[in-house]
């Protein structure tokens, strides 16, 4: 499997890469962006391709084989980057492409796709012993489950939570989707379980906490004058990105490069529908190297 990198030209412009630069790709996915970065930094540069999903990382390594001499692949969540990459810090630039990849939804066994019959899992790292989506659905109180689902703006969260609790235990994503479909009417093109599944995925992988931790640690990861590009794919991710980068700027640890988010061109959206919701924020690290 291969990954089409979102906003490729914008990414290179944002990071201002030069030959010999060392760059962190915090979410290498299937390696699309990592390969792009490796080409930009040249034979004397280096890309630290990192991902929370070891299965994605293995595929990325195969897809980037042509650049193996200038890449290091590291299994790491955002919160673990300062520790795992400590000997190589600070780097010249960092890219983070939040969320999941299409691979997670095309592989039914991962439990991300509402149309599959896979397990209700949703963990980016299946080697960990962290709770699955099924654990959340089957153990949270009805109130806590409703509150969790409501975080994505699902107005029928109480009805959905009640239906899920009554249908326990739930172990497959297909059954999860069926219960919700029966509990709330379908309006528009969006599947009735979409926002509930999104809320679960975010909670299972602690996605918002990981994004906030990454942004807070940027002054330790990237040298003063180095660039950072953050790509979000839905409102929740972008709100965290906006809030936390503004916080860094107010602390004098970064300068915001783009006042308004960059979005894909109409031509890119036409070629790659998956890019249509992408939002990029760019900042430049300031202050003294090693600040936290």
Domain tally, the chain: 2
Beta-ladder partners of 230:
96, 281
Q: Are residues 95 and 20 in the same domain?
A: yes
How many CA atoms, within 13 angstroms, populate the side-chain half-sphere of residue 219? Answer: 18
Residue 268 lies in a domain: yes
What is the pLDDT confidence band of residue 289, given thresholds at 50, 70 and 90? very low
Higher pLDDT, 118 or 232: 232
Q: Are residues 32 and 94 in the same domain?
A: yes
The domain boundary residue, chosen from 156, 176, 204: 204
Whether the per-residue pLDDT at 1 is higher than 70: the answer is no
Alpha carbons 50 and 71: distance in angstroms, whole number: 10
Instruction: Give the pTM.
Output: 0.91
Mean pLDDT, the chain, whole residue set = 91
Residue 109 lies in a domain: no
Q: Which residue has the tokens 């962006």?
A: 33
Q: Are residues 37 and 96 in the same domain?
A: yes
Q: Are residues 199 and 261 in the same domain?
A: no
Percent of the chain residues past pLDDT 90, beyond the cut: 77
Tell me which residue range forms the domain holding 190. 125-204
Higher pLDDT, 36 or 188: 36
Among 21-25, 102-106, 176-180, 226-230, the range scoring the smallest mean pLDDT is 102-106
Q: Are residues 89 and 233 in the same domain?
A: yes
Residue 1 lies in a domain: no
Residue 113 lies in a domain: no
DSSP 3-state assignment of 252? coil
CATH number of the domain bearing residue 189: 1.10.150.170
Mean pLDDT value of segment 91-109: 74
The domain boundary residue, chosen from 174, 204, 234: 204
Using one digit for the tens of pLDDT, what is the confidence trace for 60-72?
Answer: 999 999 999 999 9
What is the pLDDT confidence band of residue 107, given thresholds at 50, 70 and 90? low
CATH number of the domain bearing residue 63: 3.40.50.150
Residue 108 lies in a domain: no
DSSP 3-state assignment of 238? helix
Whether the per-residue pLDDT at 290 is higher than 50: the answer is no
Q: Are residues 164 and 235 in the same domain?
A: no
In 3D, which of 167, 159, 231, 237 has the Cα closest to residue 196?
159
Q: Are residues 53 and 93 in the same domain?
A: yes
Residue 120 lies in a domain: no
Higher pLDDT, 268 or 189: 268
Mean pLDDT value of segment 142-156: 96
Q: Are residues 188 and 227 in the same domain?
A: no
Q: Are residues 80 and 165 in the same domain?
A: no
Q: Are residues 91 and 219 in the same domain?
A: yes
Residue 22 lies in a domain: yes
Mean pLDDT value of segment 88-107: 80
Q: Are residues 237 and 163 in the same domain?
A: no
29 to 35, 56, 78, 116, 146: CA distances (angstroms): 11, 5, 13, 21, 31
According to the model, what pLDDT value does residue 141 have? 98
The domain boundary residue, chosen from 177, 204, 231: 204
Q: Are residues 28 and 93 in the same domain?
A: yes
Query: Which alpha helices (H) appear in 154-252, and where do they start and end?
Result: 157-166, 173-183, 194-204, 207-221, 235-250
Residue 33 lies in a domain: yes
Alpha carbons 179 and 192: distance in angstroms, whole number: 10
In 3D, which of 76, 88, 67 has the Cα closest to residue 27?
76
Alpha carbons 121 and 203: distance in angstroms, whole number: 12
Phi, psi of 61 (to 5 degrees): -60, -40
């Amino acid at each position: 499997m291969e990954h089409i990198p979102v906003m490729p030209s914008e990414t290179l412009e944002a990071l201002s890469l030069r030959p010999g630069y060392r760059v962190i790709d915090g979410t290498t996915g299937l390696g699309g962006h990592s390969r792009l970065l490796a080409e930009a930094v040249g034979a004397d540069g280096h890309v630290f391709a990192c991902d929370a999903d070891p299965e994605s990382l293995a595929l990325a390594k195969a897809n980037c084989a042509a650049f193996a001499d200038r890449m290091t692949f590291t299994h790491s969540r955002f919160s673990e980057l300062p520790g795992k990459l400590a000997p190589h810090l600070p780097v010249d630039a960092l890219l983070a492409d939040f969320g999941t990849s299409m691979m997670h939804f095309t592989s039914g066994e991962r439990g991300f796709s509402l149309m599959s019959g896979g397990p209700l899992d949703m963990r980016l790292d299946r080697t960990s012993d962290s709770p699955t989506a099924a654990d959340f659905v089957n153990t949270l109180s009805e109130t806590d489950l409703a509150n969790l689902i409501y975080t994505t703006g699902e107005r029928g969260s109480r009805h959905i939570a009640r239906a899920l609790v009554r249908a326990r235990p739930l172990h497959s994503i297909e059954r999860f989707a069926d219960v919700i479909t029966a509990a709330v009417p379908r309006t528009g093109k969006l599947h009735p379980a979409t926002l509930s599944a999104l809320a679960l995925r975010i909670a299972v992988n602690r996605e918002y906490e990981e994004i906030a931790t990454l942004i807070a640690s940027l002054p330790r990861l990237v040298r003063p004058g180095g660039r950072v590009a953050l790509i979000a794919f839905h409102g929740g991710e972008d709100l965290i990105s906006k809030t936390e980068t503004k916080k860094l700027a107010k602390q004098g640890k970064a300068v915001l490069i783009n006042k308004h988010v960059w979005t894909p061109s109409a031509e890119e959206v036409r070629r790659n529908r998956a890019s249509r919701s992408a939002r990029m924020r760019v900042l430049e690290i300031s202050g003294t190297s090693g600040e936290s």
